[in-house]
Each structure stands twice: as structure tokens, then as C-alpha cells.
Structure 1
Amino acid sequence: MIFRPLGRTGLQLSQLSFGASSLGQEFRPVDLNQAIRSVHVALDLGMNFIDTSPYYGRGMSECLLGVALREIPRDRYILGTKLGRYAPGHFDFSARRVVESVDVSLERMKVDHLDIVLCHDIEFVELAQIVEETLPALRRLQTQGKVRFVGISGYPMAIFKAILDRAELDVILSYNHYTLQNTMLVDLLPDLQAKGVGIMNAAPFSARLLTNAPLPPWHKATPEVRALCRKAAEHCTARGVDIAQLALQFSIAHEDMATCIVGSANPENVKSWVDWAQTPMDPQLLSEVLAILRPIHNWFYTEGRPENNDPRPASGN
């Protein structure tokens, strides 16, 4: 497993990290024994960072991690969670809830500190509150030793630039924006690197868009996006490669991104991802797939408040 520095934090993250959203049954019912086993397999295969949130399963993911990590020495893993998003449509980024949320997460996961805490999906609220109330409250917890590093997560690229211009961050987590289909995160790298902010990428499969699996009902991909991604998947299959393998290899290849977070409650999936990460990427196949996806390159959807979203290109992509 390759390890990379996370900005100026001093942390070294594995190029693949374990995302624990699936432990909260966010996508399908899970077998509890398999879910716990998936955490152990991830650690045994070299993934040293675990990402979760109280939103995942409305606390279930954190509780299961508390069980899975019970016999694991604390220095074997780096643990990150989030705060502010707790249920569908329920957001609370108040200073009072920051303190409460961190304490609850510590209790659920049975640890005495959190390595990383992120403000979760801030595009749904007024960004002024994040700057003026939420982040300062997290910094106070940092001085108490409960939290080591703080940052933000979300979907639109605009939220990162807006916060970077107004507050200090240790880390950010972006998802769906460094994939075979969308590489908008690259444009943000100079600003992040200039300020020493650690960069975490997530969701290389873009919610199954870059896999052979059926899309979930809530997926916002347009008919054109779905059709071209299916064409790319079929092209990979004809070449004897799962498009998910190529997608993962592409998303972990950028050396300026400390890690790529991907998760499953199935330990066999975790094993496959590590195998793929250690397999050389086929440059010819990559070139062919990128050519297929070129008409929808950097297509994105809207999420959260309109004012927090990215401007649409003139083409309407």
C-alpha cells in the first residue's frame, strides 16, 4: 500500500481508505458480521484511514465501528468522522451541537480522540455559519485534544473556495469530483496546496455510475450521462476489464491527493479494491474510455442551496 502526506497535518494516509457509510445500511441491508469483517480486512490490507459520519445509518455506522475497532490498537488506524448532518433534511451546525456531536461520536466509537472531524455537506446551509460558528467551535475542541484536525466536506466545488477565502482549514473531503468522468477537483489543487490543506478524494465509482451495477433510484445522472457511462463500461468489458477497476485505478493515481475513500460492508469487495490498486493501469484502455466519456466530461448535478453551487458552463453541460 502506498502512503501519502495529508497536507501539513503530519498524517500519512493510505492511498485507499475505508469509507464506512455502508456500515450504516445507507445503500442496502448488511450482514453485521460481514460489516465488521470488512473493517478488519481493510486494516489488515493496509488501509489506515476510516471515514464515517453520524449521518450514516443515523449513528449505526459509528456504533458498528465501535464494535469493530474494540480490539484494535488505537495507533493502527486514523479515524475521521463528521458533524452537522444527522438525518435527511436535518442539519445543525451550531456551536452547541458541535460539542455534543463530537462527544457522542467519541462515545459511539469508544475512542478518546478523533483524528479528523469534517463539517458534513455544508452546501445545504449558509456558509457564514460554518466560518463564524462551526469551525471556531471545532478549533476550541482541538485545543482540548478531542479533535486533531478539522475541515469541510461536500459536493459543489464552490463551497471549498468560499471557505478557503474566509477560514483556515486542515483538510477537505471532496466526492465525485476526481473520477473518470469528472476531474473538477484538479482545478482546486493550487489553492489547497498553497494553504497546506490536506486533500481527500472519495467515491471513485460516482455512486455506481462507473460500474456495471444498476444505478440507485435517486441517482441524478441524465439519460446522456447514463448512456455514455454504460457505453464505457461495455467497452471495458469487451477488453476484459471491469470499468470499476479502471475507475479506482484512475482515482488513486493522482499523487497530490492523499487518499481515495471507498467503502463496502462486503470484505470481498475490499479485497478486490486492494488487488486493483496493486495492478498496473492500462493506459491504452484509459485513453479509450476517456474518449468515450469526453462529451460528458465534468458534468455535474446541483446539491444544496443554489447559491452554494458551481456555475453552469455556457454549453449547459
Structure 2
Amino acid sequence: MHYRTLGKTGLSVSVLGFGGSSLGGAFRQTDDAEAIRTVHVALDLGINFIDVSPYYGATRAEAVLGRALRGIARDRYVLATKIGQYGQGEFDFSAERVTRSLDESCERLGVDYVDLLQCHDIEFADLDQIVDETLPALVRLREAGRIGHVGITGLPLKVFTEVISRTPPGMVETILSFCRYELNDAALGDLVPWLAERHVGVINAAPTGMGLLTERGVPDWHPAPPLMIETCRKAVDFCRAQGEDIVKLAVQFSIGHPGIASTLVGTANPDNIRKNIAYAMAPVDYPLMAEVLRILAPVHNHNFTRGRPENRDTVIDSAQ
């Protein structure tokens, strides 16, 4: 496993990180015992960065992860969780709720310290509140030694520049972006230099686009428009015809950007995490990747967005 430094935090994180949404059954019904084994396999094979949230599985993911981490030396993993989102459409970014949320997460996780605490999906928030109330509350927790570092997460890229431009240097130390640095959409890459200038560490998630670049395909709730789904399916089919799993290329592409510290993959299956780690360490078939990128060119950087109207990215898609 390779490791990179996460911005100016000083944290050395594995280029492939463990996304905890799967522990809460976000994509399929899961078995907690199998999920716990998956976490152990990830740690044994070199993954040291784990990201979770109380929102995943209505606190189930944090509870399962806490069971998995029992007896594991605290210096073997870098732990990130989130505040602000607690149920479908349930958001509370108030200072009071932030502090209580951290206490609840620590109890479920079996820890008294979280390395990184992040505002979850801020596109659904009033950004004035994030800037004026939520982030100052997280800074107070950081100053009190309850957490190590402060971050923000979201789907639209514009929320990152909006919030970071309005806060003092060092207040926001990391961003977590998903579905914006993958084979079909690499728009996050254009933002990385701007973030680096401000010493903000970058975490990427969902290298397969939440199922777009997989044999199984997208779940029913997926927001991608038909053109994106159809074009990604062509790339999946092409890789299969070559005897390759497109997930391998997807993982390799996402971890290939040197300005992205870690890319999160989510699974509650031990064999799948072994495969993802093997993919990350395997040589890249650059001719195959070039052909897949050519197939995906018609939807390159096409996107989908969400959140409050003022927080949404401009949608780029010829079908809309």
C-alpha cells in the first residue's frame, strides 16, 4: 500500500481508503459479522484511513465499525466521521447538535478522539450557517483536543470554493468529494491546484460513480441521466470483452492523481476489499484505459447535482 499526506494535517493516509457507508447496508443487505471481517482485512492489507458517518444506516455503520475496531491499536487507523446529516432529509448543523453528535459517534465507535470531523453534504445546508456557526463549533472541538482536524463534504464542487473562500486559512483542512474524480468525470482534478494553494487536503470517494462503472450497474435511486448510464455501460461491456473488470481501471485512475490523498471504496465483503487493494497495487494497462476513456468521451465531465438551488453545480449533460 502507498500513503500520501493529507494536506497540512500531517496525517499519512493510504491512497485507498475504506468508505464506511457499506457497513450500514447502503447498497445491499449486509451481514455485520462479514462487514467486521472486511474491516479487519482492509487494515491487515495496509488501508489505514476509514471514513464513516452517523447517517449511514441510521447509525448502524458507526456501531458496526466500533465493533470491528475493538482491540485494534488506535495508531493503526486514521478515523474520520461526520456531523450534520442524520436521516433522510434530516439535517442539523447547529453548534449544539455538532457537539452532541461527536459524543454520540465516539460512543458508538468506541473511541474518545476522532482524527477528522467533517460537515456532511453541505449542499443541503445554509452556507452562512456552515461558515458562521458550524465550522467555528468544530474549531472549538479541535482546540479542546476532541478532534484532530476539520473538513467539509459534498457533491457539488462549488460548495467547496464558496465555503473555503469565506473562512480563515486553516479553518477547513480537508474536503471530501464523491463522483467527481472517476473515469467518466474528472472535474475535481481542475480544483485540486486551487485547494493545494490553500493547503486543503483532498479526499475522493466513489471511484465507480456509485455503481456506474460496475457490472452490477446503478441502483434505482441513482441520479445519473440516461446518457451517462448508457455510455458507462458501454465501457463496462468493453472491459468485460477484454477479460478485464472495469473496477480495476476505475480504482487505478482515481488513485493516480498525486494531489488526491486518498480515494474511498466501500464494501462489506472481504473478497471485494482484497480485490480493490490488489487492483490499486497492480500495474496499469494504459492502452486499455485510453480506450475506455475514448468510449466515455461523449459524457466526459457530464455530471449530476443536488442540494439547495443556490448550492448546485451547473449540470453539464447533453441529454438535459
Q: Normalized against structure 1, the TM-score is what?
A: 0.98
Q: Which residue of the partner structure matches residue 10 of structure 2?
A: 10
Q: Which residue of the partner structure matches residue 241 of structure 1?
A: 244
Q: Which residue of the partner structure matches residue 55 of structure 1?
A: 55
Q: Which residue of the partner structure matches residue 31 of structure 2?
A: 31
Following TM superposition, by how much is the alpha carbon of 1:315 offset from its aligned partner in structure 2, in angstroms?
5.9
Following TM superposition, by how much is the alpha carbon of 1:311 offset from its aligned partner in structure 2, in angstroms?
2.2
Q: Deviations over 1:262-281 (max 9, x none)?
A: 11110110000011111111
Unaligned runs of 5+ in 1: none
Q: Which residue of the partner structure matches residue 90 of structure 1?
A: 90
Following TM superposition, by how much is the alpha carbon of 1:313 offset from its aligned partner in structure 2, in angstroms?
4.9
Q: Which residue of the partner structure matches residue 209 of structure 1?
A: 212
In structure 1, C-alpha distance between the alignment counterparts of 2:265 and 2:148, rounded to whole Å: 23
Q: Which residue of the partner structure matches residue 20 of structure 2?
A: 20
Q: Which residue of the partner structure matches residue 259 of structure 1?
A: 262
Amino acid at match of 2:230: A
Q: Which residue of the partner structure matches residue 278 of structure 1?
A: 281
Following TM superposition, by how much is the alpha carbon of 1:27 offset from its aligned partner in structure 2, in angstroms?
1.6
Pair 1:315–1:235, CA change in 2 (3 A) = closer
1:311 aligned residue (296, 311, 314):
314
Q: Deviations over 1:87-136 (max 9, x none)?
A: 00000000000100011111111111000011000001111100000000
Pair 1:302–1:177, CA change in 2 (3 A) = same
In structure 2, C-alpha distance between the alignment counterparts of 1:300 and 1:76, rounded to whole Å: 36
Following TM superposition, by how much is the alpha carbon of 1:312 offset from its aligned partner in structure 2, in angstroms?
3.8
Q: Which residue of the partner structure matches residue 186 of structure 1?
A: 189
1:94-133 mapped onto 2 (5 Å cutoff):
94-133=94-133
Unaligned runs of 5+ in 2: none
Following TM superposition, by how much is the alpha carbon of 1:144 offset from its aligned partner in structure 2, in angstroms?
1.1
SS at match of 1:57: coil
Amino acid at match of 2:215: N
Number of aligned residue pairs: 317
Q: Deviations over 1:267-312 (max 9, x none)?
A: 1100000111111111111111111111101111121111101124
Amino acid at match of 1:153: T
Amino acid at match of 1:254: H
Q: Which residue of the partner structure matches residue 68 of structure 2?
A: 68
Amino acid at match of 1:196: H
In structure 2, C-alpha distance between the alignment counterparts of 1:228 and 1:78, rounded to whole Å: 36
Is the 2:36–2:68 contact (alpha carbons within 8 Å) kept by the matching residues of 1? yes
Amino acid at match of 2:278: D
1:250 counterpart = 2:253: yes
SS at match of 2:58: helix
Amino acid at match of 1:139: V
In structure 1, C-alpha distance between the alignment counterparts of 2:223 and 2:110, rounded to whole Å: 37
Pair 1:234–1:313, CA change in 2 (3 A) = closer
Is the 2:301–2:316 contact (alpha carbons within 8 Å) kept by the matching residues of 1? no
CA RMSD of aligned residues (A): 1.2
Is the 2:303–2:317 contact (alpha carbons within 8 Å) kept by the matching residues of 1? no
Identical pairs, percent: 51
1:130-209 mapped onto 2 (5 Å cutoff):
130-167=130-167, 168-209=171-212
Q: Deviations over 1:139-168 (max 9, x none)?
A: 001111111000100000000010110113
1:43 counterpart = 2:15: no
Following TM superposition, by how much is the alpha carbon of 1:316 offset from its aligned partner in structure 2, in angstroms?
7.0
In structure 2, C-alpha distance between the alignment counterparts of 1:14 and 1:266, rounded to whole Å: 19
